[in-house]
Amino acid sequence: MTLIHTHTQGTQLSQRIHPTLTTAQRHVVDFCSNGPGTYIVPSSPGSQVFVKRGDPSLEAEARTQAYLYAQAQSSAFDLHVPKVYDVFNDGNGNTYLVMEYIPAPSFHAWISEPDLSAEERSRRTDVAIDAIANTVEVLLQCPLPDGNGIGPVGGGYIQHSFFCMEEAPISFVDAAALGKYVNKALKRRPRRPQDRVSLDTEARLLCPSDVSLKNFLWDSVNERVWMVDYQHVNVLPHSFASFYFHSAPDPFVEAVAKKISLPVSSQLNLLQSAAVIVIQSGIRSFGLDENGDVKSRR
């Protein structure tokens, strides 16, 4: 990917501050100078790339997105994923995820176009629900990466609504470790503290847990859906997928859940109880390590 410099002073500054960055990376840093967020950056003449600037969690997101892009290219899965071109850190704590730019509006923008009749807006909402549900269904059936890990592809912190601030406090090594964490929370219930979940015997799925109209683009000409946000896509036990879709307060997620074939987990009630404790207690890790065991005191 060849990127064109557009800000000479900024480029000279970035060369002094970021001597190890490539020319293309320095151009991205210069262009994305207004802080964390998303940017459409000019690249080779007449083309653009889409850039996310944020914290190091973008590296895990990039791995997940690149994995799903490869799956979409090499299989019959009807999944449309922007190609990841680069992910890098500027040396000052900022991470940049550079990907293919898709010239299509989000479903949110498509439904929110001005001067639509109520009937047309309702029709477009129905189209969005069906199209996004089909994409979610494909994602839930996608082959998993090798190994028995959970979280983003290649490991890392789970991003999911079960956790306080939607991020796991620990990089759990597997479903058994995650189950120990959930059970640690359940022990704090004033009633029936003996109840336990068992997650390590459940099927694991690639589960999205930030399903919104803004995270899917709609190419209405080709009737093609592009999923563009993978921060909250994780390999998770079935119960965590069920927790997101079957106890969602968002009416749109609820509508999508009715369209997919994901069964309701028999452990959903326990997970809901544990989530209340996790979010309200303010205790992040419950003193556990990545294996779900109590940390040794030295």
The model's pTM is: 0.90
Mean pLDDT, residues 83-102 taken together: 96
- For residues 171 and 16, which has the higher predicted lDDT (pLDDT)? 171
- Report if residue 128 sits inside a domain: yes
Looking at residue 137, what DSSP letter applies?
H
What radius of gyration, in Å, describes the C-alpha atoms of the chain?
21
Same domain, 69 and 190: no
- Report if residue 203 sits inside a domain: yes
- Report if residue 50 sits inside a domain: yes
pLDDT for 3 beyond 90: no
Same domain, 150 and 66: no
Same domain, 79 and 129: no
Same domain, 63 and 192: no
pLDDT of residue 16: 45
Same domain, 153 and 52: no
Same domain, 146 and 17: no
- Report if residue 13 sits inside a domain: yes
Give residue 133's pLDDT band: very low, low, confident or very high (50, 70, 90): very high
Mean pLDDT, residues 249-271 taken together: 97
Average pLDDT along the chain = 91
Give residue 46's pLDDT band: very low, low, confident or very high (50, 70, 90): confident
Looking at residue 147, what DSSP letter applies?
S
Please state the domain count of the chain. 2
Helices 175-186, 268-281: inter-axial angle, 10-degree rounding:
70
Residue 246 belongs to domain spanning:
122-281
The whole-angstrom separation of Cα 159 and Cα 69 is 20
Same domain, 126 and 95: no
- Out of 100, 132, 162, a domain closes at 100
Q: Looking at residue 254, which CATH number applies to its domain?
A: 3.90.1200
- Report if residue 248 sits inside a domain: yes
The whole-angstrom separation of Cα 28 and Cα 164 is 32
pLDDT for 64 beyond 90: yes
Same domain, 78 and 198: no
pLDDT of residue 4: 32
User: pLDDT digits over 176-228, tens only?
Assistant: 999 999 999 999 988 777 899 999 999 999 999 999 999 999 999 999 999 99
Outline where DSSP puts E strands in the chain.
37-42, 48-54, 84-89, 95-100, 204-208, 216-219, 224-227, 233-237
Q: Is the dihedral of CA 263, 269, 273, 274 positive or negative?
A: negative
pLDDT for 39 beyond 50: yes
- To which residue do tokens 């549900």 refer? 133
Per-range mean pLDDT, top range of 2-6, 18-22, 262-266:
262-266
- % of the chain residues with pLDDT over 70: 93
Same domain, 171 and 202: yes
Give residue 298's pLDDT band: very low, low, confident or very high (50, 70, 90): low
pLDDT for 248 beyond 60: yes
Q: Tell me if 265 sits within 8 A of 271, measured CB to CB.
A: yes
pLDDT of residue 59: 97
Same domain, 30 and 136: no
- Report if residue 2 sits inside a domain: no
- Report if residue 239 sits inside a domain: yes
Same domain, 133 and 230: yes
- Report if residue 113 sits inside a domain: no
